[in-house]
Every structure is written in C-alpha cells, then in structure tokens.
A and B are shown apart, each in its own frame.
Chain A
Amino acid sequence: MNPENKIILLVEDNPNDEVLTLRALKKNQISNPVVVAHDGLEAVDFLFATGPSAGPLPQLVLLDLKLPKLDGLEVLRRIRSDPRTRLLPVVILTTSTEQRDVIAGYQLGVNSYVAKPVDFTQFHEAVRQLGSYWLVLNVAPERSER
C-alpha cells in the first residue's frame, strides 16, 4: 500500500507538542499524511464521519489523554465499541506515566502506551520507533469490519 494512503491521526491539543511531533515525524522521514484533531470531539468526528472533519479511517491513531471536550480515554472507549474502528491500531502518546492512566488505557484495549519524554532527543527517537513499528513492521488487520 502506498504510504500516502496510510493516514496518521494525531489527537493533540497542545500546539507546541503538535509542532514538535510533526517535526519529529518529518525528520524521521515518515511521509504519511497526518491529520491533527485538537480535541476529543474532533477526533471522534473524523473517525465516525459525523462532522466537518470526517475522513477515511487512519492507519494509526496517536492519542493524547488530557484533552478538551472528550478526554482521550473516552475517545478510546468509543473507538473500541464501534465495529468500524474496533481493531484500529491506537497508541496512547501522552505526558503522564501515572499507573491509573496506563491501566485504564490497557483495560480499554489500547495497542501501546508511550510516555512523551521531556528530553526532545528522546522524544524524537520515540516518534521514529513508533513510525517504523506501526507503519512499517506491524501488520494491521484488513478493514473487513467496515
């Protein structure tokens, strides 16, 4: 499949983190189109085609937890409870390493939980690994349930 078809949905409300994440993706030669949702509601609108930001299903969702309107865990819950998105690869990419967030994330069926490091060099490396694993190495399910 052409990488242009493999959309990444970045759910991120912090504009600085958005810029840094997009830069890290670009610098790591991850050329997939990135759609940014700035709150939980935008993310849900995009995924379930219910609003102005509706679009095709992404290959990967990078999901922040602390979000306005709908928080990340609620977005995850909706993704997992809808047959169209039930198997969608979702990676929580957030600042918190609180156990309650990690446990809640896994309980709701997240595929991976990555803490954003403060050190940008480490953050850069984390994004590189995420891209190569989820967009290249990992075999995602065919969208048979759509």
Chain B
Amino acid sequence: MFAEPPVAIGAASLFQSLRIVLQLIVGAAISGTAEVMHRALQRERAQREALHTSEERLRLALAATDLGIWSHEVIPDIMRMDERAARDFGVGLESSLVQISSRMHPEDQERIRLAIGVAHAPASDGRYVQEMRFCHDDGSVHWVRVQAQVHFEGAGATRRAVRVVGTTQDITERKAKDEKIQQMNVELDARVRQRTTELEAANKELEAFCYSVSHDLRAPLRTIDGFSQVVLEDCQTQLDAQSQDYLRRVRAGCQQMGRLIDALLQLSRVTRDTMQREPVDLSALAQEMAGELQQTAPGRVAQFHIADGVSVEGDSQLLRVALWNLFENAWKYSGKRAETRIEFGRQPNAAGGALFVRDNGSGFDMASADKLFAPFQRLHSVREFPGTGIGLALVARILHRHGGRIWAEAAPDQGATFYFTLNHGPQAPA
C-alpha cells in the first residue's frame, strides 16, 4: 500500500523522516479504519444476505399464495411492485395510482376511488380490501382482489397518508365460478318454480278431471241402467227370456263400470287428500274389521288371529282404507275354504318389523306378483272372484304416501301373506 521509506540525512532527510513518520501514522490510521470498514462491510453483507433470504422466503410465500406485492408513495405518486402485481394491474414494475386507475374497468373506478378516499382519510385505520376489474392490453378483463394498509405521518388533523403497501390477487377464475354458481342457482330457482307451477297446474287439472268424472261420467250410466230396468218392468210380457237376460247384462255392465269409476275416484282421492299423522291402533282396527267381515256372512266358519298392541303413526283414514282392503282381500280369496283363517301381526324376526295380513285362501303364482299392485291388474277372473282391480293399488299408494312399501308371498292354493311397512316403523312412539 505504501512505498518503502528512503534513508536520508539533514533537513531534507528530517523532513523526509517526518514525512515517513507521518505516513506511517496515517498509514496505521488508514489501515485501522480499513479493519473497521471491513468488519462493517461483512456485517452489512450478512444483513443483506439475511434480508435476501427473508425476501426470497416472502417471494416464495407470495408465489404459493398467488399474491403480488406493491407499495405506493403517495407524494409523488409512485407505485412499485413485483412482477405478479404488475401483471395483475396490467402495468409495468413502476407505475402510479393515476396510471393504474386508468386501467381499471370504468364501472369500478368510482367505487374504488371512494374506497381509497375513505382509507386515506385522517381518522381511518388505513386498511382496505376491494375487488375490481382491470382491462389488460390483450383485451382480457381480470378480477383482482387488492388488500392494502395505509401508513400515516403526523397526528390529529394533520395526520396524512404517506405510504401504502399492499397485495394483489387475480380472482378472475373464482369470480367466474361464483358467477356460474349464481347463474346456476338462478336457473335452478326458475326451474323449480316452473316445475312447481306445472305440478300445481297438473294437480288442478287432475282435480277438475276427477270432479268432472264424478259428476258427468256416472250420469249416462244411470240413464242406460235406469231405462234398461224401465224396459224390463214395462215390457216384461213382450220380452222373451233371452231378451230379458240381455238387458240384465246391460245393467250388470253399467253397474260394474259404476264401481270402477268409484274405485278410480277413490284412488285419485288417496293421492290428492292431505295427510294427518297421528297414532293409530291397528290392532283395534283389525278387530273391528274382523267383526264387520264376519257379520256379512254369519254362517261362515272363520278364525281371526289378531296380534295385540300393534300401533303405528299415520293418517287414520287412509290406514283404515288400506287395512280394510287387505282384510277384504283375505276374506274374499279364502271364501272357498271350509274354514277361513286370517292373521294380522308383526313379523317377529324382521329388522324392519314388517306388518302382515295372512290368509289361507287361493293364493297366487309368485311369477305374476309384480302385477299385484298395479291398478286394474287382476290375477283372477271376475267370474271366479269379483272385484275392480283397484284394491291393492289403493293399499300400495297409501303405504307409499306413508313412506312405506308392500310386498307379498304366496303360492297357488297355499294362501297369501301381504307384508307392509310404514316409514316410522310399527313401534314408533306415539
């Protein structure tokens, strides 16, 4: 660093010596300073490295969160930002609030200007979070969520915003999804409303149809039946036996059709009427029905085995109709036995605790069991066993309305068992 001091004598050499000493002193001083500076430099490098590491970590964290970062010097209006924020705003790394505002979607500008004004106000806590659209050079529009913290200087009335730091996040996709969900909700709402209207209209139409059937379809039948009877009465002497038989067939046909119309109306009524849930003692109902059936044929030998304490929750009117149809069925199809045997109870082993009505009647082939519960399907001829083919359809519909179901087990000539459930279970608390 310094030259070797030359050896000299005399004033000149004294001066030379002084210069050397001076040089040595200064050199030492300079050399000490260099030591200090060297250490400071090392410290600064370490700090810079630490800062760099910390910045790197922040950048990684921001990258992981899709966040851009920016800072804003309020006066003069300078905004500095990282690449991500620049991309989100659609500007360069150094920009200004004025420039960024000009890239903002016109519909958002006024709202954001007001929000910034509020955040910059002297009494503000300086936080704001806003979502806004930016129009990029490529013509695309991006939704950006901006979070910011304003830093103030001064106090009271002189407190003023000097710097703002914040983040950006491109939320275009989320917004699109939100919009799609909202749109789908609106569409779903509209569809539900439309379906409800259609359903209501269909119900009203069905009701009007049933009302009309109830009034208008039976009247012509009464005319046919009535005047057939009038002819039978008034022209008895002129009509031979065969003609009288034909007229009786006309009447029988009318009456069967009358029964069918009644059964159809009952079927539709079972669907339309509102249900009222209450505890229903099925054992008591079954006992009552056994008595009624026995009364229709006091001479018929019949045994009824009815389990005690079978109570369910449901509509008492509808359940009465259902149980009556099952009992009437059992009674009808066991009519040709020397002794009728009808059982009602709860299956002991079934997990669901299915209820059942069992008879020792003519039964049926299980191959046609799927037809049992469809309206107007009959497994026996009217000549063999009279009926409308509505009874079991009625029972099935009533049980479905209660959230339950019905199924059957039978074999030809081996009797039949009808099992059924209600959704609250046979032992539901009252």
Most chain B CB within 10 A, of A20, A99, A116, is at: A20
Q: A118-B258, A120-B229, A121-B229 are in contact. Are A20 and B222 (CB under 8 A)?
A: yes
Which chain B positions have C-beta within 8 A of A20?
A: 222-223, 226-227, 230
Q: Which of B210, B223, B254, B257 contacts A16 (CB 8 A)?
A: B223
Which chain B positions have C-beta within 8 A of A84?
A: none
B interface with A by C-beta (< 8 Å): 210-211, 214-216, 218-219, 221-223, 225-230, 251, 254-255, 257-258, 261-262, 265, 269
Which chain A positions have C-beta within 8 A of B219?
A: 14, 16-17, 95
Q: A17-B223, A23-B230 are in contact. Are A118 and B218 (CB under 8 A)?
A: yes
Q: A64 to chain B: closest CB distance in Å?
A: 10
Q: A50 to chain B: closest CB distance in Å?
A: 28
Q: Which of B222, B225, B251 contacts A95 (CB 8 A)?
A: B222
Number of cross-chain contacts by CB at 8 Å: 68
23 intermolecular pairs with C-beta atoms under 8 Å apart? A14-B223, A16-B219, A16-B222, A17-B222, A17-B223, A95-B218, A95-B219, A95-B222, A98-B211, A99-B269, A100-B211, A116-B222, A117-B258, A118-B218, A118-B221, A118-B258, A119-B225, A119-B255, A119-B258, A120-B226, A123-B222, A123-B226, A124-B229
Q: B390 to chain A: closest CB distance in Å?
A: 16
Most chain A CB within 10 A, of B214, B216, B254, is at: B214
> What total of chain A residues lie within 8 Å of the partner, measured CB to CB?
22
A129 at the interface (CB under 8 A from B): no
> A65, B223: Cβ atoms under 8 Å?
no
> B215, A66: Cβ atoms under 8 Å?
yes
Which chain B positions have C-beta within 8 A of A123?
A: 222, 226
Instruction: Report the nearest A residue to B255, measured CB to CB.
Output: A119
Tell me the complex Cα distance, A66–B215, Å. Answer: 8
A96 at the interface (CB under 8 A from B): yes
Contact with B along A77-119 (1 / 0, CB 8 A): 0000000000000000011111110000000000000001111
Tell me the complex Cα distance, A96–B229, Å. Answer: 22
Contact with B along A12-56 (1 / 0, CB 8 A): 001011001001000000000000000000000000000000000
A interface with B by C-beta (< 8 Å): 14, 16-17, 20, 23, 65-66, 94-100, 116-121, 123-124
> A97, B222: Cβ atoms under 8 Å?
no
Instruction: Report the nearest B residue to A65, measured CB to CB.
Output: B215
The 3 closest A-B pairs by CB, nearest first: A118-B258, A120-B226, A16-B223
Q: Which of B214, B225, B228 contacts A96 (CB 8 A)?
A: B214
Instruction: Report the nearest B residue to A14, measured CB to CB.
Output: B219
Tell me the complex Cα distance, A14–B223, Å. Answer: 10
Most chain B CB within 10 A, of A16, A94, A117, A120, is at: A120
Q: B244 to chain A: closest CB distance in Å?
A: 15
Q: A10 to chain B: closest CB distance in Å?
A: 15
Which chain B positions have C-beta within 8 A of A98?
A: 210-211, 214-215, 265
> A118, B215: Cβ atoms under 8 Å?
no
Tell me the complex Cα distance, A63–B101, Å. Answer: 82
Q: B208 to chain A: closest CB distance in Å?
A: 11
Q: Which of A95, A96, A118 contacts B255 (CB 8 A)?
A: A118
Q: A113 to chain B: closest CB distance in Å?
A: 14
Tell me the complex Cα distance, A96–B254, Å. Answer: 17
> A16, B227: Cβ atoms under 8 Å?
yes
Which chain B positions have C-beta within 8 A of A124?
A: 229
Tell me the complex Cα distance, A16–B254, Å. Answer: 15
> B214, A97: Cβ atoms under 8 Å?
yes
Which chain A positions have C-beta within 8 A of B225?
A: 118-120
Tell me the complex Cα distance, A33–B380, Å. Answer: 50
Tell me the complex Cα distance, A116–B225, Å. Answer: 12
Tell me the complex Cα distance, A121–B226, Å. Answer: 8
Tell me the complex Cα distance, A120–B218, Å. Answer: 12
Instruction: Report the nearest A residue to B259, measured CB to CB.
Output: A118
Tell me the complex Cα distance, A20–B219, Å. Answer: 11
Beyond the given pairs A20-B230, A95-B218, 4 more chain A to chain B contacts, judged by CB atoms under 8 angstroms and listed by A's residue number, are: A20-B226, A95-B216, A119-B255, A119-B258
